[in-house]
Structures are given as C-alpha cells and as structure tokens.
Amino acid sequence: MMEKQTTVTTLPRVLIVDDDAMVRLLAISALGQLDLDLHEAGDGAEAVALFQQQAYDIVLLDLEMPRMDGFTAARRIRALPGGENATLIMVTGLNDADSIEKAYQVGATDFVTKPINWAILRQRLRFVLRARNAFRSLQENEAKLLESQRIANLGHWEWDIINNRAEWSEQVYGILGLDPQACDASFATFLQAVHPDEQRLFNRAVSAAIEKGESYLLEHRIVRPDGEERHVVSQGQALPAEPGKVERVRHVVQDITERKRAEEHIFQLANFDSLTGLPNRALFQAYAGRILAAAKRDGTKAAVLLLDLDRFKRINDSLGYQAGDQLIKEVAGRIASCMRECDLAAKIHTVEDLPYSLARPGGDEFMLLIRGVDRAAGVAHFAKRLSDALAQPLSVMQQEVFFSASIGISLFPDDAQDQDLLIKSADIALGYAKDSGGGCFRFFSEEMNDWANKRIELEARLNHAVENNELQLYYQPQISLVSGRLTGFEALLRWWPGGGDMVPPNEFIPIAEETGVITEIGAWVIHQACKQLRSWRDRGYDPVPVAVNVSARQFVDQNLVKIIEDELAAFDLTPELLELELTERVIMRSLEETRIKLQALKEVGVKLSVDDFGTGYSSMSYLKRFPLDALKIDRSFIMDLVTDSNDESIIRAIVAMSKGLGLHTIAEGVETDQQRELLSSIGCDLMQGFLYSRPLPAEEAESYLLRLSDQHA
Ligand code: C2E
Ligand code: CA
Ligand code: CA
C-alpha cells in the first residue's frame, strides 16, 4: 500500500482495488494528475478491511478477484459506515448485461470496462468528484441551514395550492407543538393552530399574497394542543408558476415568544414599580401627556392628585422595611378600590383600558390622574373618600397600624396648562395639606379650597338633614287663569342647616342627588306633603292637590311606587290629591322605562306633570304615549314674555299642543299683570308665581285655603 500524498487528508480518498498489480500501477499513474488521496488494495477482502478503518469517497473495484470478488466487496462496503455515500465504480472485463445489472444491484454507482481507457476514467472521476463536491456542499449548507433554523426557532413550510399538499420542516411541528407522526402537514392544520382570534387575519394575509403574487408578514399567536400560547412571526412568499398564476406558497414561521417575554419584562422593569405593580413616574408622565393633550383638544378638565403617607418614615423605622413595604402595598390596594367604588372610577378605568392613572413614583408617594372631570365637586368628593379610607387602621404583620395620608390636588386647565407645572402645583397643594397637620386634602387654588371645604361640610350636614329636622316644605299656590281661584299648591323644599341661614334647593338638591341622600329626602317630602294634606282635610278645608318635585334618582328608584302607596294609605288620602312633577329631562332619558314607570304611577292614581317644559327635548310621539296630566311651561319663557315675541310664539305652540294632548298648561314664575293677561289671552289655564304668592310655610298657605272655602261658602 502506498500513499501519493500523505499530508492532505481533506483530498478525496480513492481506493483502487485490483488483483493485478500492473493495473493498480497504471491507475495510480493515470489518476496521479488529479488531486486525490490514492490508496490500493489487492483483493475485495483487503478493500473491505481498509474501508472499515476509514471510509473512502471513491472505490474503483475490479469485479473478478480471488478470495472475495467485486460484487461481494461492493455489498459489504455499502453496509459499512460511510459506505452508503461512497461512489463505487466497478471495473469489469465482462461486457455483458447480467454483470452490469448485478453490479448495480449490489450498489455500484457506475462501471467501466477493461481494457481501461485511462483518459476516459480520468474524465469520469473528475465528473464524479465535481458532483460529489456539489452534493456535499449542498448537504453542508442544508445542515447549516437546519441548524441555524433550529437555533432561530425558525420553521419553513411549503404549500402546494394545486394539490393542496404541504410540507413542514421539523421546526414547524415543534413550534406548533404537533407530533410529526400523528398529524398531517397541511395549510388547514397550520391555520387551525393559529389563535382563533387571528385565524381570519392570517387567512386574509395569505389569500392577499396569493392573489397579488406577493409576500406577507404577520405577527400572530399559536395555540398548542396543550393550550400553551406562543407568539410567532409568519412570513411567506407566493411563488407564481407563471405570471399571475400562483401554485405554491413558501412560508417561514418563527417563534418569538421568548423575545416577546424579554421585551415585556424589560418594559415592565422600565415602566412599573416592582412592589405594587403600579406604573412608575416615567410611564405616568408619558400617559399624562397624552391625556392632557386630549383634554386640551376637546376642552375637558382633568385633575392631578398627589398622595403622600403621613409620618411614614416613623412607621418604617419602628416596624421595619418589610412592614413598610406591606403597608405601601395595602395602601395601593385601598386607593385602587376607592377609585373603583367612587363615581369617578368608571372614568378612571376606561382610560384606554389601562389603569395607568394611578402610579407610584417612589417611596410613600402616589400619583393619580383623573380625566373628564366635569365638576370639581367630584374630585373633592373623591379626595375626601380617599383620605377617609386611608385613615382606617391597617393590620400589618399582626400589628394594628394607624396612619393617614395627605393629598394635594391641581386642576387642568385652571391651575396649569402644562403637565410639569400641574404636577408641581399638586405638590405645592400637598405641602399645604401637610402643613395643616396631614390626613386631609388641599387644592392648589385658594378659592377651590374654600369652595371644597364648604361643599364637604354641606355634604356631611345634608346626610343628617332629615334626622335633625332641618327640612321644611313651603307651599306655593297655583291659580286658575280663568276663575282666579286656588287650584293647588306646589311643595318646595327649604333647608336650614344647623339652625343657620336657609340654603336654597338649587344648591343642595344636586349635592343630595350626587351623594344619593336624595332618596331619603324625597321620601320625607312625600311623607310631609301627605301629612299636610291630611291635616288640612282634618281641619275642614276643601281639598286641593299638592304637587311634589321628584328628582331623577328618586324617579328611577325601585321603591317609589310603594312609598307613595304606603303614604297615601297611611293618611287615608285619595290619590288625585298628590301630584308628581318630573322634569322634561328626566322623563326623556330612557323612554320605554319612563313609560312603564309612569304607567305604574298612574295606576296608583296620582297626577303627573312635566316640569320645566321647553328646556329639554321632548319626543312628541312619547309625550302622547305617557299618561300625563299637565305641562309646566318653564319660567325662562315667561320671564321675557312681554318683550320677546319669540317666547310668545313658543308658549302659543306649547299651549296648543298641550290642549291637543288633553293636558293642563301651567305657567311658572308669573310676576306681572302683563304676563298674566298675555298668558290668559293665549289660552294657558293655570299659573303660579310671585304675582300671586311666594312659596309659603304651611300655616301661611292656609289663608289661601280659607279664602277658597269662603268663596265656596
Ligand atoms: P322648580 O320645580 O322649577 O320650582 C319653581 C321654582 O321657582 C321655585 O324655586 C320657586 O320658588 C320659584 N318661583 C316660583 N314663582 C316664582 C316667580 O314668580 N319668580 C321667580 N323668580 N321664581 C319663582 P325654589 O323653591 O328655589 O326651588 C328651586 C328648584 O329646586 C325647583 O325648581 C326644584 O327643581 C328644586 N326643588 C325644590 N323643592 C324640591 C323637592 O322637594 N324635591 C326636589 N327633587 N327638588 C326640589
Ligand atoms: Ca317644580
Ligand atoms: Ca319648574
């Protein structure tokens, strides 16, 4: 055995097997010009033994040899490691079909006949080598490609549209979590693995790519059979067989779940506070910027609240950091639930569906942004609730901790137009709150503070107005424009908080509505009116109806009908003596519910009138369907009646319509004879106003009943 080149092991290894030493010599000299690592063997057995030691790329194998012939050697070599890929060229003296066929059967790649034409053999080997190299680099590339696809978690697949067949790489199965043995690769199977919410999107992207012969790129989710969700990027290219005729689509799909998670984690770290999970200052500010820009655009208000725990350092020092951390978490929870409970919560949480309006910029501080603040009262109310909620003791590590929080509030655009200034203003306000001993809230502006303080006090007092007997009903006579006689009274509420000055209903009714105490107050009004009617009847006066005002919240209250029935029964009154005044705005709010409610009230037998008529928008078709008794023309039309012909025509229209519907018309706020005369000429039948009488306490109103009785007598 001899080696032509010893050092180069990367050269193709060629083994020349022939029992004729002369042939081997000739072969070696003929092939020596090629860059080959040449070896020789004297028979089949030696060839197999050599191959076993190290595989050869090409074996030139003589068929007829002693000990082991070429056929057997070829079969054995094919079975050895590396033998599968070797090129076996059979050298034979037999030029018959049988041998050739047999040679191929045992795995020959090619064959040459003796006597060997060395020039041709050289050419053949060149060709074989070129093919081998090309094949090998293809194999290497493919292996590299597969490896890199594996590393990149990248799968590729092809879809043959015409035959509706697909071929998936191993990674595709891996990404989809499917077993290659147990499932058929197809477009439908892939589509099925796409998240249900995104299947249509995916399908549309692929269809569009096919239609236009273009590519698509889509980020979507995959749901594995075990329910695990993966994030992937799918990319594909339609492959037109000829222009305009797409037969195949080549897709790649890459699992980017880990990258996504890392991104999310980074986002989380950069934008959120790890203790409470709340946004940090950076995210809050980015968010506030957007909200304020939107508020500026649509001219709405917003408020920034800065909240700081009082004497937190002391708690932290005495109970330890762990307790301090727990306290902060509890406080965050309380603020969040306060936001949820409060009327403002809906607004806070619907902000782009992200509760980013509550943030923890650090330490024991919290920041809140409330947008869509229509009235500052809402903010004051919320801040009060918040500081009350935070004044409740907390149990931290088996210890009861008493603490409180200070809150500073600034309003946009009143206090500042720009975000930084707004936060600074809230910070200054927070300083005021701390200066006043903590446990309270302060607005940035002085007027707001005065106003808010008064408002909060009023609210607290109003809650006890009924039990403290601070309410009283006044009665304003209603007069017939035809006969000049008393036809009824409107009951109007008066409040003297703590025995001080009277607060007008226009000031306290909206607050009572907001806090909900209106239902209690409203029930008291109905009770009081019935009580008065009974007392007048008991004292022998001719009965006239009393109208009470019913607020929005009271009207939708489930108990209203029952309350009225009970009071009428308790005082044994005929229901027509009670009249309910409902504002146009209230009854036009949700028409079908209103109709049902009015029907129920009508069945009780009380009278129903529409208050402040003309100030809202009435749906005529509904007015017709509502069981009403009267329309009260709003005072604003009566006010300028004599000078403003426009108002006159409105009143004419209302009166005409009212008559058409078979209803009475009452003019409110009649102050002059001129107004009365004009109203009378228009055909309005009832009036109420200072011209005849102001609202009066029951004892004084009685004189009108007395007069009525005299007229009758
Ligand atoms: P309203 O129902 O429109 O009541 C008529 C208001 O006009 C009353 O004001 C009455 O005093 C006033 N008024 C009557 N005649 C004249 C006049 O000739 N000139 C002027 N300038 N004003 C006149 P008041 O008593 O201050 O009540 C204001 C509003 O408060 C009422 O408007 C009503 O919406 C509400 N309110 C009063 N009492 C109650 C109540 O018991 N329940 C509810 N829910 N609301 C009430
Ligand atoms: Ca009224
Ligand atoms: Ca009115």
Reported as a single tens digit per residue, the pLDDT across 48-84 is 999 999 999 999 998 888 888 888 999 999 999 988 8
Instruction: Kindly state the tokens that stand for 109.
Output: 């790649």
Ligand index nearest the alpha carbon of residue 615: 3
For residue 657, how far is its CA from the centre of ligand 2 (angstroms)? 20
The radius of gyration of the chain's CA atoms, rounded to the nearest angstrom, is 48
Residue nearest to atom 8 of ligand 1 (CA): 492
Distance CA 533, CA 578 (A): 9
Atom of ligand 1 nearest to the CA of 493: 38
Helix axes 321-341, 312-319, angle to 10 degrees: 140
CB 291 within 8 Å of CB 369: yes
| Residue nearest (by alpha carbon) to ligand 1 atom 22 | 669
Evaluate: CB of 547 within 6 angstroms of ligand 1.
no
Task: From residue 353, give the alpha-carbon distance in Å to each of 216, 350, 356, 359, 628.
Answer: 30, 5, 9, 15, 43
* 596 C-alpha to ligand 1 centroid (Å): 27
d(CA 45, CA 67): 7
- Output the six-digit token pair for 56: 């050869």
Q: Sheet of 87-92: strands edge to edge?
A: 37-41, 13-17, 58-62, 87-92, 110-113
Cα of 542 vs its chain's centroid, Å: 63
**From the CB of 402, is ligand 1 less than 6 Å away?**
no
Ligand 1 pocket residue status of 505, Cβ below 6 Å: yes
Q: Which atom of ligand 1 is nearest to the CA of 670?
A: 18
Q: Which ligand is nearest to the CA of 612?
A: 3
Low-confidence ranges of the chain (pLDDT < 50): 1-8, 345-355
Nearest CA to ligand 1 atom 11: 695
Centroid of ligand 2 to alpha carbon of 507 (angstroms): 15
Structure tokens at 75: 């079969």
Q: Rounded to an integer, what distance in angstroms lies between the CA atom of residue 461 and that of residue 508?
A: 10
The pLDDT value recorded for residue 345 is 45
Q: What angle do CA 40, 46, 50 make, to 5 degrees?
A: 70
Q: Which atom of ligand 1 is nearest to the CA of 525?
A: 41
Whose Cα sits closest to atom 13 in ligand 1?
A: 669
Chain center to CA of 288: 18
Structure tokens at 245: 């005729």
Q: Apex CA 359: angle with CA 353 and CA 365, to 5°?
A: 160
Please list the alpha-helical segments (H only) found in 223-375.
257-271, 281-298, 312-319, 321-341, 345-350
Q: How many CA atoms lie within 13 A of 626 on its CB side?
A: 29
Question: For residue 551, which ligand has an atom nearest its CA?
Answer: 1
The pTM for the full model equals: 0.54
Q: What is the pLDDT of residues 401-426, one digit of tens each?
A: 888 899 999 999 989 888 998 999 99
Closest listed ligand to the CA of 548: 1
Ligand 1 nearest atom to the CA of residue 634, by list position: 3
Protein residue with least CA distance to atom 17, ligand 1: 669
> 644: CA distance to ligand 1 center in Å?
23
Most ligand 1 atoms within 8 A of CB, residue of 462, 473, 478, 492 to mutate? 492
Return the structure tokens found at 182.
């147990």
Are 525 and 473 in contact by the 8 Å Cβ rule? The answer is: yes
**Ligand 1 near 675 CB (within 6 A):** no
CA of 550 to the centre of ligand 2 (A): 8
Q: How far is the CA of 545 from the centre of ligand 1 (A)?
A: 17
Separation of CA 559 and ligand 3 centre (Å):
24
Q: Whose CA is nearest to atom 20 of ligand 1?
A: 669
Tokens of 429: 């306000």
User: In a mutational test of the pocket of ligand 1, which residue from 549, 642, 671, 692 has the highest number of ligand atoms less than 8 Å from its CB?
Assistant: 549
Residue type, 532: Q
- Please list all protein residues whose beta carbon sits less than 5 angstroms from ligand 3, which is an ion: 611-612, 668
Question: Model confidence over 203-249: pLDDT tens digits?
Answer: 999 999 999 888 999 999 999 999 999 999 999 999 888 877 888 99
C-alpha span between 311 and 327 (Å, rounded):
13
Question: How many Å lie between the centroid of ligand 2 and the Cα of residue 611?
Answer: 6
